Structures are given as C-alpha cells and as structure tokens.
Amino acid sequence: MCANCGKGEESTGDLKFCNACKLVKYCNRDCQIAHRPQHKKACKKRVAELQDEALFKDPPSREECPICMLPLPHDAEKYSFKSCCGKILCVGCIVSMTLEEIRKGKKNDELGMCAFCRSPHFSSEEEDIKRVMKLMKKGNADAFFERAGHYAEGSNGMPQDMAKANDLWLKAGELGCAEAYHNLGNSYYHGRGVEIDKKKAVYYDKLAAMEGDVLARHNLGCVEGQAGNHQRAMKHMIIAARAGYTPSLDSVKQGYMVGPVTKEEYEGTLRAYHKSLNEMKSESGTKPHFF
C-alpha cells in the first residue's frame, strides 16, 4: 500500500519504492513529497545503515599477479605496471624472469623482457607513453592510473599538473582502480590541484576502501578515531589489518590494550594478518634497477 494515501496497487497500479531507503512505497511523486515529513527520520536512519553495510562488508580479494597467482603486496615497490600488456606483476616474478635471462647469457642492455607477455622493455619514454595511451583507449584502469602519476610527478616528459592527474585518477577509479580513488581523496585532503574539501576526501577514501584499498581504509579509521568514534575506527582498522596492513594492526593492538577491541577480535585479526602476509610473499623486496 502507498505509505501516504493508503491505496493499494489494485487501484493505483505499480507502487514505487522510496529510492533512498527502499522501506516504503508510493503510488506517485506527489504522495512521496507529502509523506516526506513523517518518513524523513526513518529514511535517513535506513540510508545510513545501508551505507554502513556497504562500507564495512568484506572487501574484494586483493588483485593477483597473473604469473604466480599470489595476491599483490601493498608496498608499491614490490610490484610493477607493464605498459606493454597492461598487467601488474609482482617483483618476485620480474626478478625470476631477469635471473633466467642472465642464466641464458643475456647482457645487461638486453635485459628487461616482460615476464608476462615477453615484450622487450620500452626503449624510450615516448614509446612507454604510446603504450600507455593505447591501453587507455581500451579502458585499462591501471593505464589511466599510470598516466595520472606522470602528471602528478611531472615525469615521462609530462609537465607537473595535479588538476590533470586528478581527472585521470577519477577516471581510473570509475574503471575499478581503488588506489586511484585513494589518491584523489588525498588531493582533496591536502588541496593538490583542487580546493581542500575534507568531506570529498572521506568520500573518495570510502570508495577506495570498499574496493579493497588498505591505506584508504586506515585513513578512515584515523578520521573516525579523531572524531571520537572509536568503535567505528576499530572496524576500519580490523579490516585493513586482516588484509595485511601493519600500521592498522598496530592500531588494533592498541585498541585491544585500551578496550574497544576484544581478545577474540584481536586474536582473529592477528591470524588473518599473518595469513595475508604469507599469501603476498615475494622473492624480492625491491625493483631491479633497469625497470
């Protein structure tokens, strides 16, 4: 029945749910507007509940290296984007490929073949940019992220342009790159290429966290903690710690010591943390110098 006039579908046709909370139905727009004063409080509460359900649910699994099929580490120094094929490879697989080339007698200037697609390493910044642009035309989120980094750092022949970097991070995020949303959130937090807007910073960190970015999740925990919302803060920290993020585990340990985190929560988080670290083990801790 319509929450405002009480008429049923037999007399009004199909009823439409409130777009925000999905709790009640209305026969038309006029009834929805008329019922708004009575419904506003319950609607707002349910919307907040739905947002929290999405925010605190288990994030998607960490992206895997397409060669070893192990989750990619959180440390950006331990994986590398390949502009030849658009894949992200862990350093362990890259190093293994390099060592194999050395065993076959290749010289230093011949090293650098992609461990996934076997393409030669790009010979110039111009060739690298062309490869990235080709991937962008195909909608590769990581290529947009890579290009944004060029503008953010003023590298690969690009002028430093944070406004352009933010535009590209937004596109990369929309295509599924969680780290891009996190970087965009940092831009709004610090005013890099945009006006400082803490609400937008939190908004983009939430999008990044829901897609599995642990740095964004940790940031949200810090924001909640600073606001005095310690239970919500620990929820964020536990999710990030379970995914293998050490600073978040330190926060969970502190939460256990002072009260918000129970012994069972801490023990379960610690076990999940170690499991995540074991799954992300790489054969090397740094990138080869020629990459």
Q: What is the pLDDT of residues 157-188, one digit of tens each?
A: 899 999 999 999 999 999 999 999 999 999 99
Say what the pLDDT of residue 108 is: 67
pLDDT exceeds 80 at position 190 = yes
Average pLDDT on 41-60 reads 93
Return the pLDDT at 285. Answer: 43
Please enumerate in sequence order all residues whose Cβ is within 8 A of that of 165, keeping only pairs 6 or more positions apart, or say none. 148, 149, 151, 152, 183, 187, 193
Write down the number of H helices and E strands in the chain.
12, 4
Contact (CB, 8 A) for 89 and 79: yes
Structure tokens at 41: 């409080």
Rounded-to-integer distance, Cα 139 and Cα 208, Å: 19
Please tell me the predicted confidence (pLDDT) of residue 12. Answer: 65
Domain residue spans of the chain: 1-46
Which of 15, 220, 234, 14 lies closest to 4, judged by CA? 15
Question: For 163, phi and psi rounded to 5 degrees?
Answer: -65, -45
